[in-house]
Structures are given as structure tokens and as C-alpha cells.
Structure 1
Amino acid sequence: MSKILDNSYYDLMINTALAPTYDTGDNITYLNRQNSLLHIPAGKADPCDLGKHSYSSFPTIFTLASTISLEKSGVTTVQTNPFLALFGQGVLVAVIDTGIDYRHPAFLFNDGTSRILTMWDQTDQSGTIPGEFTFGSEYSREQINAALQSPDPLSVVPTTDVLGHGTAMASILAGSPNEQQGFSGIVPQADLVIIKLKEAKPVTKKVSFIPESAICYQESDLILGIRYAVTAAARFNRPVVICIALGSSQGGHDGRGATSAYLDHLALLPGNGISVAAGNEGNNRRHYYNATSALPYYNDIELRVGSSDTIFAMEIWSYAPARLSIDISSPNRESTQPIYPGLNQCRKFSFIFNQTIIYVNNIIFEEETGEQLILLRFSNPLPGIWYLRVQSSENEPFSFHSWLPSGDLLSGDTFFLDSNPDTTITSPGNARHQLTVTAYNQLSDSILPESGRGYTRIGQIKPDIAAPGFELTCAVPGGLYGTATGTGAAAAHAAGIIAMVFEWAIVRGNYPRITGNDANRLMISGAVRNPANTYPNNIWGYGQVEINRLFERFTSS
């Protein structure tokens, strides 16, 4: 078995330049020019393994970012204009998600053949591994068409989408019209590139204190999915728009992680569009912020822990030059005493009067950012109010952020009592040059309360733009139609608009060298802005996407 699939191995992120140092022939998986995976035996998957390796070595864990109106964003106006009529022809749209129901009418041409150009299923090891990759199965349009003509399609192309999230996102972005359902994707003439992510390894979940039953995905597989989309675009010599409707609350929320760096690089190259969901953590009460500027130089966090959350992690990120200690007290006031920062220490605390075990990594210098990180991992925490005292070791002013896990990794019963809805955009939504999309209710013109809010931890302006994201009609596995709500749906909608810009600019030859970042700035310039608000702001970004205004600006210049 390939080590990237073997649960007895950790997948550690390392700099690609260092890969030859560790390479023994089968223990390195190349991700991109910056990062590779080093596969090492996990042994018993001791939680303190995270102390033996740098925090950023372990892949970030991602969750899904979604649970109608096309006219609202100007799409219908542009498509009914005979001089524009942009439907995504000649553009590839890549969806990296939970897969696709390739038999659904939303992904078929009128003659019943597939609109999917190529597909990589990371979970299926029965077919041909794509070139330059080491696992999964690749299926071409010809193979999918053969499956569609078979009495048993899944015996030919055995890929499905059990959760339906990827099917929904792909359909919002590029689904074929269905008049009876009042449905059409944004660019129904674009060709689809589908990447089905494999779930995070159980051994990765274990060291990250994520419930074994949780549905989530690891960063390394997402990076490989992005690389597959880019290589497909090169193979077919077409521009590509990549939609990422996933997010993570791990990391410093500063756009400096491995996936963010990769997307930043790609968005500055011609023909690569990238649309990323802002996440749905805005109203989950999972972010805490404090700035302490006067004596006494400490702050008490109150964290309510629900009875169903028996295993979870939380992170505290400070700003230099602060050096912070932490003291953790249970609801019955049993305490760890102060834990001071160090380099690679991992402290285990077993509470005497309850079943709680807490692992604490107080990392003075997190390698990827250079900032202090306090990582807390709880096992069987006593339900109730926990008290965490964060204190300056130097007796001077300090500030910090803290985040709990995203999505379904935690129930709604665990939250900060004095939470802050800002700085809740999930990774990789904090990267600088991609398009980060928040969601609004297109029926009431109000932001969705769950939409992640900016800015980034280091003050970069995010989100970039708001797109419709409330009950968007979408395809559902089994040939059905339903609705999707959330920033994932909004990101899919916005990805379709980037594809329209690429069709006009690249396919029609108006601006062949356009980059994803160029397209983003054009969309921002044409956004609708409410006179009652100041822009940019941390809720709406630069306003509501409106592609017709973008093209009006070209014609009036």
C-alpha cells in the first residue's frame, strides 16, 4: 500500500528543498514547488508527537463550507446580451470537494454525454493513477461516457458523492439548465474538472484531537487536488477556475499557511482563477480576542464545554513581542498551574477529580509564522465553564486571538462566553491574492449571519466580495434538486463569474494574459456598494458582486 494511504504513517509537511535529505525511495510525496510530504511511522500516535515535530508539519484539517437568483449578481443580464453571452465556453472549472454524481442531468450535454472533462477520485484505488501522482484513479470524459451508456455505470466508473456537497457546488458553478426546476449553473458551457478528496487519515485525526467519526479532509490532499487542476489546465491548454468550498480554523488566520502560499502563487499567474469560501464561523462563538494594555497583565478566557464534545483542540495566537503563559482551571477549579513557553515541549495534565486529560504545547516560536502559539487539546473534558488565564511573562501589554475548530468538528454547545465574530474567515480564505467570498441573502440583501468576517489577524482586507449564498438551487445526488446555503455556495457562484471574465478575456482574446488576481480586482471594481456602508469593510469586503457593471465599465471607457 502507498504510504500516503497507509494509516500507520503520518503525513508530515516539509519544504520540498529538504525532500532529498529524507528520501529513501518510497517515503516522499511531492506536493508542489514549496512543500512535499514525508511519511514516517506513526507508532501508537502519541498526542505528544505533535511536540516532536513542528506544528506546521501536520496538515491542517478542513471541513465543508455549505449546508437562487442569478439575476441578483448580473449574470442573466450579461448572458442575454448578444455581444457578451458568456457561458464559460472554453474555460475549465475545477471543484475540489466530496466528488460528484456524474450521472446527474446537471452534468450532461443535451445528447446525454458528460460535461466532465477529467476526474480524479482520491478514494478509488481500482483505476489508473493520474500521471505525476501516486494514488487514486483518473477517469477521462471517454470513460465516463462509456459508463453512462452502460447498464451498470458504477461498474465502469465507480465514483460517487455520498455527501452531495461536491455535487451541489459543481452544479451551482456550472450545472446544465433545467427549466422545470428553474435551475442553471453560472457557466453551463464550461468543462468540469472534478477532484474527489479522500478523508483525513484516522491517525491525523487522532493526533489533532478530532473525533474519529468527523468528516474532514487534510491539507496535503487539498494541495494535491489543486495541483491536479493546474496540470489538467496545462494538458488541455485552457484557463482554469478553481473553487474551494472548504475551510479550517486551524492556523494563525494570517494567510501564511502552505495552501494559502500555493494559492497566492497561482493567482498571480495567467489563466488561474481561484475562488475560496470565507467559511461559516461568523456566529458560532468560536473566536475570542483580547488586548490587555494595563495592569494586571493577564486575561481570563471563559470557555463553555458541552457534554457531547469529548475530544477537541483550541489554539491561542499572540502577537510579538509578547511571551504568554497559560493556566487552565476546570469547572470544579482543579488547575494545571502556569505553563510557560518553550520550543518543543508537550505537557500532559491528568486531572485528579475528573477524567479530563489536557495536552499543552506552548510554542514560543511557531516555524511557519514566527509567532507564539499555545495549542490545547482536551480529552474527556468535564462539561461546564473552563477558565483559562493568559498572562504576560514579561509583565507588559499583550494581545491575542483564540479559535476553536470549524464546522462539525465541534457541537454548538462548546463556545467562548465572550466571543468575537470578527477574524473568523477560515483558511485558506486569508490568503492575499485569491478571491475570498462571503455570502449574503439575495432575497433580503442581508449578510448571512454565519458568514466568516475579516480582517485577517495581520490586518489584510478580507473578504474580497459578497455573492449570493442563501438557498441556491443545486443538484443533489440521485438526479434530484435541492438548495445550498453558506459561503461554499457563494464561492461556487463567484467562481462561475470568474469563468465568465476568463471567457471574455482569454478565450475571446480581449486580454489573454489576465491572472486570477486581475479578474478579482475587476470584479471588486464593479461591485455594488451600499451608500450606507464604508468600503472595504470586514463583513462585505468591497461589496456585492455584479458582473454586468464590470462590463459596463469597459464599454463606457
Structure 2
Amino acid sequence: MLKILDNSYYDLIINTALAPTYDSGDNITYLNRQNSLLHIPSGEGDPCDLGKYSYSSFPTIYTLASTISLEKSGISTVQANPYLALFGQGVLVAVIDTGIDYRHPAFLYNDGTSRILTMWDQTVQTGTIPNEFTFGSEYSREQINEALKSPDPLSVVPTTDENGHGTAMASILAGSPNEQQGFSGVVPQADLLIVKLKEAKQILKKVSFIPDNALCYQESDLILGVRYAVTAAARFNRPVVICIALGSSQGGHDGRGSTSAYVDHLSLLPGNGISVAAGNEGNNQRHYYNSTTAPPYYNDIELRVGSSDTLFAMEIWTYAPARLSIDISSPNRESTQPVYPGLNQCRKFNFIFNQTTIYVNNIIFEEETGEQLILLRFANPLPGIWYLRAQSSENESFSFHSWLPSGDLLTNDTFFLDSSPDTTTTSPGNARHVLTAAAYNQLNDSILAESGRGYTRSGQVKPDIAAPGFELTCAVPGGLYGTATGTGAAAAHAAGIIAMVFEWAIVKRNYPRITGNDVNRLMISGAVRNPANTYPNNIWGYGQVDINRLFERFSNI
């Protein structure tokens, strides 16, 4: 079995420049010019392998950024905005997600043929592997059309969307109109490019303290999906808009991770647009911030742990020059001794009077950011209120952020008692030049409570804009229609608007050199701003996206 698919190997992210020093056969998978994967035997998956190998070498775990409901809302006004007769013609829109129900009418032309130009299913190993990649199956429009003519389409193109999230996002972005359902995607004439992500390896989940049955995806597969979209766009000589309706609360929330760096770079190139969800962590009470400026130089974090959360991780990110120790006390006041920062350390604590095991990595500098990171991993924690004391080793002022995992990796019974809704934009939404979409309720112009908030940990303005994200009509597998709510839906809507601008600028040759970042700035300048608010702000960014105002700007040029 290929090592990238084999659960007995870790996939570690390394700098591509270092790859030749490790390369011996199939233990390297090229990701992009910056990074590659090194496949090494994982053994039993000892938690302290994270410590032996750097934190940033383990791929980040991503969760989905919208909830799909089968109830039909009948909202038709949201997406029907055919301004300037721009329907995405000539533009490729890429959705990297849970796959697609390619048989759904939302992805067919009137003659019953497919609007999907090309598709890569990372989970199916029986078809043709895409050129320059090492696994999965690629399906062309011709193959999909053959399947659609067959009495058993899945025997020809065996790809499905078991979850429905990818189908929903693709339809909001580019679904074919259905008058009966009052439905149309934003750009119903764009060509679709679909990547179905394989689920994260069990061995990565094990080291990351993520429950076995949690649905999540790993960063390296997302990077490969983005590269597939960019290479396909070059092959077809089309501009491409990539929708990333996933997010992660791992990492420093400063736009410096491997995925963030890659999509940031792509956004600055002509013809590449990238729309990213801000995440739905705004009201989950999973972020904590403290600034201690006077003696005594320590801070006590209170973390309530629910009875069903038996496996999870928590991260504390400090700001230089602070160096913090961490001391952890259980609800029955049993505690670890203080753990001081060091190199390559991993401490294991078994509590005597309860079943809890905690692994502590107090990393003096995390390689990707140079900042101190304290990673705590809990197994079978005693339910109740835990107390974590962060203390300055030098008796000086300090500040830090702490985050719990995103999405369904945790229940709502585990949270910080004194949480902050700010700095909750998930990665890669913290990348500087991508378009990061918050979600608002377009029926009453209020922000969704769950919509991720900025700014980034380094003070960059995020999110960029707010887009409709409440009960947007969408396709659901099985030929059905339902609704999607969340920042994933908002990112899909915003991706459609980027595609409209690309059609005007590149396909119609009004401004062929336009970059994704250029479009983002145009969308920001055309956004609707409420006079009662100050902009930019960490909830709405620069305001509500408005395609009409954006094009009014052009008419005045």
C-alpha cells in the first residue's frame, strides 16, 4: 500500500528543499514548492512522537464550516443576483470538501450532461491517478457523462458525498437554477472542479488526541487538493476560484501555517481567487485570552470539561519575550508539578485518584512561528472544572491566547469559563491575502453568533467581509434541496462573487492580469457599511459584500 494511504506511517510536513536528503523510494510526497511530506513508520503512535518530531510537522486537522439541513427554507432572493449578466462563464470554481453528488440536477446542464469539468476523489483507488499526483482517482467530464447515461452511474464513476457538505457548498457557489425550489447558485454557468478529501489518518488522530469516530481532514490532503485545482486551471487555461469551507483552531492563528502560506501566495498570482470560511467558533467559548501586567505574574485558566469529552487537546500560544510554565490541577485538586519550557520535551502525567492522563509539551519555540507553544493533551479527564496556572518564569508581564479544538471535535460541554469570542477565525482564514468570509443572516442583517471573529493573533484585519450564511438554499445528495448555515456557506457565496469579477476582468478581457487579492480589495471597497459601526472591525471586517456596488465602482473608472 502507498505510504500516504497507509495508517502505519506518519505524514510529516518538511521543507521541500530538505526532501532529497530523506528520499529513498516512496517515502516523499511532493506537496508544493514550499513543502513535502515525509512518510515514516508510526509504530503504535506514541503521543510523545509529537515532541520527538516538531509540532508543525504534523498536519493540522480541519473540520467542516457549515451545517446542512434538509428543511427547505424557500429563500430565493439570496443568490439570484445576475448583475451585468455575469454567471461565471469561462471561470473554473473549485470546491475541496466532502465530494459531490454528481447526479444531482444542480450540477447538470439542461441536456442532462455534467457541469463538472474534472474531479479528483482521494478516497477511491480504482481509477486513473491524476498526473503529477500519487493516489486517488481522477474523472473527466466525458467519464462523468458516460456514467450519467448508464443505468448504474456509480459502477462507472464510483464517487459519492456521504456527508452532503461538499454538495451543498458546490451548489451555493455554482448550482444550476431550479425555479420550483427558488434556487440558483451564484455563478450557474461556471465549470466545476471537485476534490473529495480523504479523511484524516487514524494515526494522526491518535497523536492529536481526536476521537476515532470524528469526521475530520488533514492539512496535507487539503494542500494537495489546492494544487490539483491550480494545475487543472493551468491545463484548461482558465481562471480559478477555490472555495475552502473548512477550518482549524490548531496553530497560532497568525496566518503562518503551511496551508495559509500556500493559499496566501496563490492569491497574489493572476487568475487565482481563494475564498475561505472564517469558521464557526465565535460563540463556542473555546478561546481564552489573558494579559497579566502586574504582580503576581501568573494567571489561572478555568476549563470546564464535560463528561463525554474523553480525548482532546488544548493549545496555549504566548507572545515573546514571555516564557511561561504550566501547572494543571484536576477538579479534585490533584495536580502536576510546574512544567517549564524546553526543547523536544514531552511529559506524561498519570493522575492517581482519577483516570486522567495528560501529556504536556511546553515548547520553548515552535519552529514555524518562533513562539512558545504549550500543548496539552487530555485522555479520560475527570469531568468538572480544571485549573491551569500559567506563570512567568522571569516574573514579568505576559499575555497569551488559548484555543480548544474546532467543530465537532469537542462537545459544547467543554469550554473556558471566562472565554473570549475574539480571535476565533479558524485557519487558513488567518492567511493575509485570501478572502475570509464571516457569515450574516441576510433576513435581518445580523451577524451569526457562531461566525468566527478576528483579528488574527498578530493583529491583521480578519475577517475581510461578511456574506450571506443563514439557511442558504442548497443541493442535498439524492436530488434533494435543503439549507446550509455557517461561514462555509458564506465562503461559497463569496467565491461566486469572485468568479463573477473574474469573468468580467479575465474572460471578457477588461483586466486580464487581475489577482485574487485585487478582487478581495475591490469587494472590500464595494462592501456595505452600517453607519453605526466603525470599520474595519473584528466581526464584520469591512462590511457586507455587495456585488452591485462593486461594479458601480468600475462604471466610474
Q: Give TM-score, length-normalised by structure 1.
A: 0.98
Look up the equivalent residue of 2:277 and give its one-letter code. Answer: A
Per-residue deviation, 1:556: 2.3
More deviation, 108-117/61-70: 61-70
Hey, what does 1:101 align to over in structure 2?
101
Q: For residues 471-525 of structure 1, what are the alpha-carbon distances to aligned partners after superposition, in whole Å with 9 as ceiling and x for unaligned?
A: 0000000000000000000000000000000000000000000000000000000
CA distance in 1 between counterparts of 2:162 and 2:110 reads: 25
Hey, what does 1:461 align to over in structure 2?
461
CA distance in 2 between counterparts of 1:389 and 1:26 reads: 45
Q: For residues 103-154 of structure 1, what are the alpha-carbon distances to aligned partners after superposition, in whole Å with 9 as ceiling and x for unaligned?
A: 0000000000000000000000010000000000000000000000000000
Hey, what does 1:545 align to over in structure 2?
545
Per-residue deviation, 1:51: 0.6
> Within 5 A, what are the aligned runs for 1:282-321?
282-321=282-321
Do the aligned partners of 1:97 and 1:197 also contact (CA within 8 Å) in 2?
yes
CA distance in 2 between counterparts of 1:190 and 1:28 reads: 35
Hey, what does 2:63 align to over in structure 1?
63
> Within 5 A, what are the aligned runs for 1:18-417?
18-67=18-67, 71=77, 76-77=80-81, 79=82, 84-417=84-417
CA distance in 2 between counterparts of 1:229 and 1:26 reads: 24
Per-residue deviation, 1:434: 0.4
CA distance in 2 between counterparts of 1:284 and 1:478 reads: 32
Identity %: 87
Unpaired stretches in structure 2, ≥5 consecutive residues: 68-73
Do the aligned partners of 2:10 and 2:203 also contact (CA within 8 Å) in 1?
yes
Hey, what does 2:490 align to over in structure 1?
490
Do the aligned partners of 1:283 and 1:449 also contact (CA within 8 Å) in 2?
yes
Look up the equivalent residue of 1:134 and give its one-letter code. Answer: T
Do the aligned partners of 2:242 and 2:495 also contact (CA within 8 Å) in 1?
yes
CA distance in 2 between counterparts of 1:184 and 1:44 reads: 49
Q: For residues 522-541 of structure 1, what are the alpha-carbon distances to aligned partners after superposition, in whole Å with 9 as ceiling and x for unaligned?
A: 00000000000000000000
Distance 1:490 1:70, change over 3 A: farther
Hey, what does 1:438 align to over in structure 2?
438
Look up the equivalent residue of 2:20 and give its one-letter code. Answer: P
Per-residue deviation, 1:218: 0.1
Do the aligned partners of 1:69 and 1:442 also contact (CA within 8 Å) in 2?
no
Do the aligned partners of 1:287 and 1:420 also contact (CA within 8 Å) in 2?
yes
Do the aligned partners of 1:465 and 1:545 also contact (CA within 8 Å) in 2?
yes
- 1:327 is paired with a residue whose SS is strand
CA distance in 2 between counterparts of 1:453 and 1:207 reads: 28
Per-residue deviation, 1:553: 1.4
Hey, what does 2:502 align to over in structure 1?
502
CA distance in 2 between counterparts of 1:409 and 1:466 reads: 25
Look up the equivalent residue of 2:260 and give its one-letter code. Answer: S
Do the aligned partners of 2:62 and 2:217 also contact (CA within 8 Å) in 1?
yes
Q: How many residues align?
A: 551
CA distance in 2 between counterparts of 1:263 and 1:382 reads: 40
CA distance in 2 between counterparts of 1:284 and 1:76 reads: 32
CA distance in 1 between counterparts of 2:537 and 2:265 reads: 25
CA distance in 1 between counterparts of 2:345 and 2:86 reads: 56
CA RMSD of superposed structures (Å): 0.8
Do the aligned partners of 1:209 and 1:312 also contact (CA within 8 Å) in 2?
yes
Q: For residues 322-377 of structure 1, what are the alpha-carbon distances to aligned partners after superposition, in whole Å with 9 as ceiling and x for unaligned?
A: 00000000000000011000011000000000000000000001000000000000
CA distance in 2 between counterparts of 1:157 and 1:227 reads: 22
Look up the equivalent residue of 2:443 and give its one-letter code. Answer: L
CA distance in 2 between counterparts of 1:264 and 1:359 reads: 33
Per-residue deviation, 1:221: 0.1
CA distance in 2 between counterparts of 1:502 and 1:70 reads: 24
- 2:328 is paired with a residue whose SS is strand
4+ residue stretches of structure 1 with deviation over 4 A? 68-72
CA distance in 1 between counterparts of 2:510 and 2:526 reads: 18
Look up the equivalent residue of 2:489 and give its one-letter code. Answer: A
Look up the equivalent residue of 1:223 and give its one-letter code. Answer: I
Do the aligned partners of 1:70 and 1:186 also contact (CA within 8 Å) in 2?
no
CA distance in 2 between counterparts of 1:229 and 1:354 reads: 49
Hey, what does 1:481 align to over in structure 2?
481
Look up the equivalent residue of 2:532 and give its one-letter code. Answer: A
- 1:439 is paired with a residue whose SS is strand
CA distance in 2 between counterparts of 1:201 and 1:345 reads: 24
Q: For residues 18-72 of structure 1, what are the alpha-carbon distances to aligned partners after superposition, in whole Å with 9 as ceiling and x for unaligned?
A: 0000000110000000000000000010000001011000000000000085755
> Within 5 A, what are the aligned runs for 1:507-526?
507-526=507-526
Do the aligned partners of 2:80 and 2:184 also contact (CA within 8 Å) in 1?
no
- 1:550 is paired with a residue whose SS is helix
Look up the equivalent residue of 1:470 and give its one-letter code. Answer: F
CA distance in 2 between counterparts of 1:69 and 1:344 reads: 54
Do the aligned partners of 2:80 and 2:185 also contact (CA within 8 Å) in 1?
no
CA distance in 2 between counterparts of 1:535 and 1:438 reads: 14
Hey, what does 2:428 align to over in structure 1?
428
- 2:85 is paired with a residue whose SS is coil
Per-residue deviation, 1:554: 1.3
Look up the equivalent residue of 1:491 and give its one-letter code. Answer: A
Q: Give TM-score, length-normalised by structure 2.
A: 0.98
